[in-house]
Amino acid sequence: MGKILVINAHPDPDPARLCHALADAYAAGAAEGGHEVRRVTLGALDFPLLRSMGDFERGTVPEALRPASDAVIWADHIVFVFPLWLGTMPALLKAFLEQVMRPGVAFAYPEKGTGGFTRTLLKGRSARIVVTMGMPAFLYRYWYLGHGVAGVRRNILNFVGIKPVRETLLGMVTAASASKRAGWLERMRALGRAAG
Ligand SMILES: Cc1cc2nc3c(=O)[nH]c(=O)nc-3n(C[C@H](O)[C@H](O)[C@H](O)COP(=O)(O)O)c2cc1C
Q: What is the pLDDT of residues 30-41, one digit of tens each?
A: 999 999 999 999
Residue-level pLDDT at 53: 96
Q: How many A from CA of 85 to the centre of ligand 1? A: 5
Mean pLDDT of 40-54: 98
The ligand 1 atom at the shortest distance from the C-alpha of residue 19 is 26
Per-residue confidence at 164, pLDDT binned at 50, 70, 90?
Answer: very high
Please name every residue paired with 117 in a beta bridge, in sequence order, or none if there are none.
none
Residue-level pLDDT at 126: 98
Residue-level pLDDT at 114: 78
Q: Which CATH number fits domain 3-193: 3.40.50.360, 3.40.50.150, 3.30.230.10, 3.30.43.10?
A: 3.40.50.360
Q: Is residue 84 in contact with ligand 1, taking CB distance under 6 Å?
A: yes
pLDDT at 194 over 90: yes
Mean pLDDT of 106-114: 84
Separation CA 155–CA 131 (nearest Å) = 17
Q: Is residue 83 in contact with ligand 1, taking CB distance under 6 Å?
A: yes
The ligand 1 atom at the shortest distance from the C-alpha of residue 20 is 26
CB 98 within 8 A of CB 134: no
Q: Is residue 128 in contact with ligand 1, taking CB distance under 6 Å?
A: no
Q: Is residue 133 in contact with ligand 1, taking CB distance under 6 Å?
A: yes
pLDDT at 115 over 90: no
Q: Is residue 132 in contact with ligand 1, taking CB distance under 6 Å?
A: yes
Q: Is residue 17 in contact with ligand 1, taking CB distance under 6 Å?
A: yes
Residue-level pLDDT at 116: 80
pLDDT at 157 over 90: yes
Mean pLDDT of 163-171: 98
Q: How many A from CA of 131 to the centre of ligand 1? A: 10
What digits encode the pLDDT tens for the residues 121-131? 899 999 999 99
pLDDT at 29 over 90: yes
pLDDT at 117 over 90: no
What digits encode the pLDDT tens for the residues 92-102? 999 999 999 99
| Most ligand 1 atoms within 8 A of CB, residue of 14, 88, 133 to mutate | 133
Q: Is residue 175 in contact with ligand 1, taking CB distance under 6 Å?
A: no
pLDDT at 111 over 90: no
Q: Which residues contact 17 (CB under 8 A, 6 or more apart)?
A: 10, 83
Separation CA 168–CA 79 (nearest Å) = 10
Q: How many A from CA of 121 to the centre of ligand 1? A: 32
Q: How many A from CA of 84 to the centre of ligand 1? A: 5
Separation CA 170–CA 109 (nearest Å) = 37
Residue-level pLDDT at 156: 96
Separation CA 61–CA 58 (nearest Å) = 10
Domain ranges of the chain: 3-193
